[in-house]
Amino acid sequence: MKILFASSEIHPLIKTGGLADVAGALPVALRQKGLDIQVIMPAYSGMLEKVSAIHQSVNLGNPFGVGDLHLLQATLPDSELPIYLVQCQSLFEREGGPYLDPQGQDFQDNHLRFAAFSWACAFVAQHGHLLGWQPDILHLNDWQTGFAAAYLKSWKLNHIPIVTTVHNLRYNGSFDLASYPETRLSNELLSLHGMEFYGRYSALKAGLVYADAITTVSPTYAAEILTPAFGDGLDGTLAALRHKLSGILNGVDYNEWSPERDGHIAQQYTANNLDGKLKNKLALQRENNLPERADAVVFGVVSRLTEQKGLDLIPEAIIPALEQGAMLVLLGSGDKALELQYLNLQARFPEQVSIRIGYDEAYSHRLQAGVDVLLIPSRFEPCGLTQLYALKYGTLPLVRHTGGLADTVFEDGPEANGFVFYDASTTALGETIQRALHTFADTERWRTLQTTAMNQDHSWDKACDQWLALYRRLRPDA
C-alpha cells in the first residue's frame, strides 16, 4: 500500500512542535511494517542542504502566478524515508520560521503558501502515476495541508481516500474571504458544509469535511473536541462527522528519546541504574550555575510558551516550593509577557531558577534527563509528547488531566507514573506540586514510580497496528 504523508514540518529537517516529531517518526515506523510511504513538505530555506541527494526534480508549472512549483525527491537524513520537497522560491525561501516572520508575526500570505503546498500534495495524490509513484491514500496533517482535500474535491477526478489528522484544533488556518480567490478554489466550496467558517474560510475545515477518515492524536482529545469547550468553533462540524472520527495515541521514537543511548546527555542510564540520572541532575545544575544539590527537587518545563500550555499558572503556584528549596529549570519561547514573567521569577530566585528563552533540541534532552519532575499544566493537550519522553527518562510528569495527558499519566493504581491535577488553577497546581515534594521525600515510592514510568511502552509499534487497520479499511483493495 502506498501512502503520501503530508506535513508542514518534519524532524530533523524543521520543527516547531510535536507535529515534526510525529512526521519524522510515524512514517519511518510504518515503512518498517512494509508500507510504501513517502512524506511531502515545503522546501523552506536551507532544506536542500539538509537532505541527501535530490533523485528527481519535476516542474509543476505556475498554478498560482507566484513562480514555478518544483517537486524535488530526496531522502530524509538518517533514514531510508523518501521525501518530496515542494519548492517555490517566492513562497518558501525566506527568513523566519515555517509560519512566522523574524518578528514572530504570521506571514501575510500563509493562505497562499499553504494553498500552494497543499495543491502540490493533491497533485501527487491525483497524478502520481505520471511521476512513477501513485499513492493509494493521502494522509493530511493539520490545517497547513487541509486545502489539498479541497483541491481534490474540486478537480472531481478519481477518488483518492483522504485521512486528516488533527494535531491541534486551535490552529484552524482560517483566513479573510477577500483572499479566497488567490487559492484558485471555486466558490462552490464556500458553503456552510464546506470551508466556510464564521464568515471566513478554513483550511482545516476543508481537511475535515472532505476527508474519508479523521483522526486525532489521543482518544480523550477525540472526545473533548466534540464539546464547545475544546471544539474551537468546529465542534458542530466534528459532531456531524463523528462517524469517521477516532483517536490514535502518538508514540515515541525511542531511537531519539532513550536515556540508555541518548548522545546529548551527560551520563547514559537505565531503570536499573538511576545513579546515572543523578549525574545528569548535577550536570544540569552545574550548567545553569545553580548549586549542585541532589536533595533539591528540580522541576522542569520544555515547551512552547502559549496559552494552551497553562504555563501562566506556574510562576505563582511554584513559589511555596521554591521557598522550601526546590528548583525550576525552563526551556521555552513564545509569548513575550510569559517570558518576562519567568525572567522575573529567575531574578527573584537566582540560586534556584534557571530560565532559557529559545529553542534548543540538545538542551531539551539534557533537561529531560536532569530534572525530577516535568510540569505540563496544559489547558488542553491533543496528545503531548514531552510527558512521554519524561516517562522514559524516569522524570515524573506532573500534568493537568486533559487530552493525551489524561490518557498517559496516572497518580494512582498500578500504572501510577506521575502527578495529576484537574482544575486549571494555581491552587490546584500548587497543591499537586506539594504532593510531588512529599513523594520525593519517600525514596522508595519515588523509585517505584520511576521504574513503572520507564518500563511503560509508548513505542510507535502499538500505534502502527491502529494505523494499518485504518488504512486497510480505506483501501481494502490496495
As measured in angstroms, the least distance from the Cβ of 203 to ligand GLC is 16
Task: List the Cα angle 84/88/90 in 5-degree steps.
Answer: 155
* Binds 215: which of ligand ADP, ligand GLC, none (CB < 5-8 Å by kind): none
Q: Is 359 in the site for ligand ADP (CB under 6 A)?
A: yes
Plot region of 156 (φ>0 → left; ψ -120 to 50 → alpha; else → beta): left
Plot region of 261 (φ>0 → left; ψ -120 to 50 → alpha; else → beta): alpha
Which among 53-61, 199-207, 261-269, 298-306 is the span making contact with ligand ADP, rule CB under 6 A?
298-306
Residue 370: CB atoms within 10 A of its CB come to: 28
Q: Which long-range contacts (CB under 8 A, 24 or more apart) does 285-288 make?
A: 285/327, 285/370, 287/366, 288/329, 288/354
Q: Could you tell me if 69 and 62 are in contact, meaning their C-beta atoms sit under 8 angstroms apart? A: yes
The 376-415 site mask, x for binding ligand GLC (CB under 6 A), equals -----xxxxx------------------x-----------
The 372-401 site mask, x for binding ligand ADP (CB under 6 A), equals -----------xxxx---------------
Q: Is 332 in the site for ligand ADP (CB under 6 A)?
A: yes
Single-letter amino acid code for the residue at 75: T
Give the footprint of ligand ADP on residues 13-52 (CB under 6 A).
17-19, 21
Taken in order 472, 474, 477, 478, the sign of the CA dihedral is negative
* Binds 217: which of ligand GLC, ligand ADP, none (CB < 5-8 Å by kind): ligand GLC
* Binds 418: which of ligand ADP, ligand GLC, none (CB < 5-8 Å by kind): none
Which residue in the set 250, 285, 352, 402 belongs to the binding site for ligand GLC (CB under 6 A)? 250
Strand residue runs (E) in 310-366: 327-334, 353-357
Return the residue nearest ligand GLC (CB atom): 18
Longest dimension (CA), the chain: 67
Of 365, 413, 416, which Cα lies nearest the Cα of 390? 365
As measured in angstroms, the least distance from the Cβ of 385 to ligand ADP is 4
The 104-143 site mask, x for binding ligand GLC (CB under 6 A), equals ----------------------------------------
* SS3 label, residue 394: coil
Return the residue nearest ligand ADP (CB atom): 18
Report the interface residues with ligand GLC, using CB under 6 A: 17-19, 22, 167-168, 217, 250, 381-385, 404
